[in-house]
Amino acid sequence: MLFPALFFASLSSALALPSLLSSPSKTPPLPLLIWHGLGDKFSNPGLLSMGDLATSVHPGTKVHYIRVADTPELDQRGTFFGNISAQLDDVCSSLTEELGAGRAGAGKDGVRVDALGFSQGGQFLRGLVERCPAVSVRSLVTFGSQHNGIAEFQHCGTWDLLCKGAVAVVGGNAWTDTVQSTIVPAQYYREINHTTGLGSEEYLLHSHFLADVNNERVLKNEVYKERIAALEKFVMFVFEEDTTVVPKESGWFAEVNATDGRVTPLRQRVMYREDWLGLRELDEKGGLVFRNTTGKHMELDEQVVKQTFEEFFGPERSKAVAELAQWTGAAERTVWWWPWGEEL
């Protein structure tokens, strides 16, 4: 009979999947781009440990720690002061050389990579996905990012002079060209019109970064939409106890009413219904993933990170194997803290 034969053939295939996960793959893992957050630098041991973990999960992974300057000190300063669009252009040029995207024989759609972004590094990597033809990102994973912007600037630590200097330059007016071209957090600051629920007029007119990469203006960039929709997975983690990112739900593209605290999820927003950015198309093919994790901003659970690497990074593989990966892993959990976790 046909049905029993098909049933047992399917069962046999399913039982064989675990061995596929554990056995070495002949296909090398995709390179991994990692972009750190505010106040961080490419040489931070905590950041390097993320690359080490990725390599231990998928041996042979080539990790690229994105930097906006050649020295750790200037890279850290560049998280507060600089023009994000200019930084993205420089990063794209560097990756073109590092990944060999400009060489003869390189794919016209860019070099295939995975991407991991922490805090503001998440929305910057998304900007890279949209703007940089040197890379073709398979999986974009972000932790505690501000995809829908921030409603207020963070409080600076007592001795955080870089942070205090940036806030002082803003001086209560985020929409001047000087601020929008030099203060990094101001370039993803977002005001809304509470009547329409859309971005405020000043935001749409003057935002140098976020209004553009979110395709919020009347004239839409179809390339941005196509490149986001072309992702296989876009995974967004929000920290449950995050008080650094305001509102924390920005990490899921949600809108939060500052008056009554009402949250409008992405799927109920006009940007999703009209598919300004390709998120609905990505969602309809199962590529948009919303997840939360316990802890404060940038308090990373090692097991969550490891399982994320297993599920979304590594070699190109079949859909069945990728889905099974999320069910594997030990139950033991470890918590990691960045030394300046509240400032990322």
Residue positions annotated with a catalytic role: 119, 242, 297
Cis peptide leading into 29, omega within 30 of 0? no
Backbone angles phi, psi at 96, to 5 degrees: -55, -40
Instruction: Count CB atoms within 10 A of the CB of residue 94.
Output: 15
Residue 120 in contact with residue 185, Cβ under 8 Å?
yes
SS (H, E, C) 62-131: CEEECCCCCCHHHHHHCCCECCHHHHHHHHHHHHHHHCCCCCCCCCCCCEEEEEEEECHHHHHHHHHHHH
**Torsional sign, CA 277, 281, 283, 288:** negative
Q: The tokens of 180 are what? A: 């929008």
Backbone angles phi, psi at 202, to 5 degrees: -65, -40
Distance of CA 171 to the CA centre of its chain: 29
CA end-to-end span of the chain, whole Å?
61
Residue 129 in contact with residue 152, Cβ under 8 Å?
no
DSSP string, 123-180: HHHHHHHHH-TTEEEEEEEEES--TT-BSSPPPPPTT-HHHHHHHHHHTT-TTSHHHH
Q: What is the dihedral of CA 103, 109, 114, 120, to 10 degrees?
A: 100
Burial class (CB in 10 A: 0-12, 13-18, 19+), 204: middle
